[in-house]
Copies of this chain bind each other. A is one copy, B any other.
Amino acid sequence: MTLQSVLDTIDRDLPQATERLLDLLRIPSISTDPAFKGDCDRAADWLVADLAELGFDARKAVTPGHPMVVAHSGTEGPHVLFYGHYDVQPVDPLSLWDRDPFDPQVEETAKGRVIRGRGSSDDKGQLMTFIEACRAWKAVHGTLPGRITIFLEGEEESGSPSLIPFMKENADELRADIALICDTGLFESRTPAIVTMLRGLAKCEVTVHAANKDLHSGMFGGLAINPIRVLTRILGGLHDDTGAVAVPGFYDGVKELPDAMRQQWQALAFDHASFLGDVDLSVPAGEQDRTPLEMIWSRPTAEINGIWGGYTGAGFKTVLPADAHAKISFRLVPGQDPDAVMAAFEAWFTPQLPADCAAEFKDVNGSPAGEMQISHPAFEKARLALSDEWEVPAAYVGCGGSIPIAGYFQTYLGMDAMLIGFGKDDDQIHSPNEKYDLDSFHKGIRSWARILDRLM
């Protein structure tokens, strides 16, 4: 009954909640560009003031970079930490925007109403879903539920340099029973989802060195080895004919998906034809004996993210370059050790070099995959709450990308994390004309109210 009152309050207050979000979106808090340092500070102040008005004990915590916002409420009962980030991506190329990215507006579109502006989906709109849920709760109950810590970062779009030091220094203050992270999306823009598997990443830049300078192919062509030829020959064998990664040892430690999860994923009936069709592709390019969802969520991959060498400008230059380069990355799954993967790659690559060539591996680093413990009771409670709101069974899903914050909560605070978000595939985050569906905002707020109701 009181949950219904909270939901009713959310419905009634939606126009005001939207205005508050538009207000926050007007602050151009681009964290990667020093010109907007003052704006990042202003966004943090805005949030501290809003949280204080809601009854939180809120503060702006100084870091060597942009400030953190930390707020607490309650002293008893279950303790959740909510994470989001108030910084946004740069907006260039500005010419591709249909409106000023920092003059946000609600727009009518063929697919319904959207909030258009930089940060609307990533991540100001998402973080405000949680804050608005707290506001409605407070309006109905006169108080906030249980114990809530809010932790908002201002450097997520610029590599989070202050995050780990801050978490280490303030571990006792930040530690809760579970972390709630709102920076992900719905499954196929329709089904509410809790991310329980996150792929890790290992990567490096490899250079093949040949002659001590660029050579003219007229003089040397046919006699001197061309490092681009060497690089393409080796990397051309990175995958075998079945689409599997050909590096020996690469799959060491990779586990098969548990049957229960496999069945749940099958039930999702992922429309890979539509997913690929949106980018003019049609054929799943991964391991041929795997389903499309396994390819992006639970199987490791190897990709050449960049390659360059020789003359790449207009016209032609018949050069045999001294060097050729590639940036290689591996998406990792639980059980794979990033260091072992990189060592296996080097051990596979190097013996394939001809006598006159040498390989150099730079910026070799990685982070392991993450796997949430869904046996934690909060997971099932949140899943039921989301299913109620969206009238579709919520799904435990994987995430092909790396979301380091979830791993940091595990590593530095010993805390599991639930990644729940309401973004859609067409939100254009990091791109011109970013938007957040008004429906995502509205039902997102309602979702958090239902989750808080079940958790607290």
- A interface residues, Cβ below 8 angstroms from B: 199, 201, 203, 205, 210-213, 215-226, 228-229, 231-239, 272, 275-276, 279-286, 292, 295-296, 299, 301, 303-312, 315-321, 324-327, 329, 331, 354-356, 363, 399-402
Collect the chain B residues with CB atoms within 8 Å of residue A320's CB.
303, 305
Known A218-B401, A218-B402, A229-B239; contact A281-B211, beta-carbon cutoff 8 A: yes
B307 touches A232 (CB 8 A): yes
Which among B219, B317, B331, B399 is the interface contact of A306 at CB below 8 angstroms?
A: B317
Q: A224-B276, A279-B224, A284-B223 given as contacts; is B305 within 8 A of A318 (CB)?
A: yes
Bound-state Cα–Cα, A221 to B299, Å: 10
User: How many copies of this chain?
Assistant: 2
Given contacts A305-B316, A316-B203, A317-B306, contact A223 B401 (CB under 8 A): no
Which 10 pairs from chain A and chain B are nearest by CB? A218-B401, A236-B236, A306-B310, A225-B285, A222-B295, A211-B279, A212-B280, A222-B301, A233-B236, A228-B304
The answer on a CB contact under 8 Å between B226 and A303 is: yes
Q: Please pick, from B226, B236, B309, B329, the residue contacting A237 in the complex, using a CB distance under 8 A.
A: B236
Residues of chain B with a CB closer than 8 A to A284's CB: 223
Within 8 Å CB of A272, what residues of B?
223
Residues from chain B with a CB closer than 8 A to the CB of A363 are: 315-316
Give the CA-CA distance A301 to B276 in the complex, in Å: 39
Contact A283 B232 (CB under 8 A): no
C-alpha gap A317/B282 in the complex (Å): 24
B-side contacts of A401, CB under 8 Å: 216-219, 318
Say which residue of B216, B296, B308, B329 sits within 8 Å of A223 (CB atoms): B296
**Nearest B residue to A233 by beta-carbon distance?**
B236
Residue of B nearest to A215 (CB): B279
Residue numbers in B under 8 Å from A237 (CB-CB): 233, 236
- Chain B residues near A212 (CB, 8 Å)? 279-280
List, in ascending order, chain B residues with CB within 8 A of A295's CB.
Answer: 222-223
CA distance A236 to B318 in the complex (A): 19
A236: which B residues are within 8 A, CB to CB?
232-237
Rounded to whole Å, the gap between the CB of A42 and the closest CB of chain B is 28
C-alpha gap A3/B211 in the complex (Å):
46
Nearest-neighbour CB distance to chain B for A426, whole angstroms, equals: 12
Known: A199-B218, A223-B296, A316-B363. A309 touches B307 (CB 8 A): yes
Q: What is the chain B residue whose CB lies nearest that of A315?
A: B363
A4 to chain B, nearest CB (A): 37
Most chain B beta carbons < 10 A, residue from A219, A231, A318, A354 = A318
Q: Are A296 and B222 in contact (CB under 8 A)?
A: yes
- Of A223, A272, A292, A321, most buried by chain B (CB within 10 Å of CB) is A223
A224, closest chain B residue (CB): B281
Return chain B residues, CB-CB under 8 Å to A329: 217, 316, 318
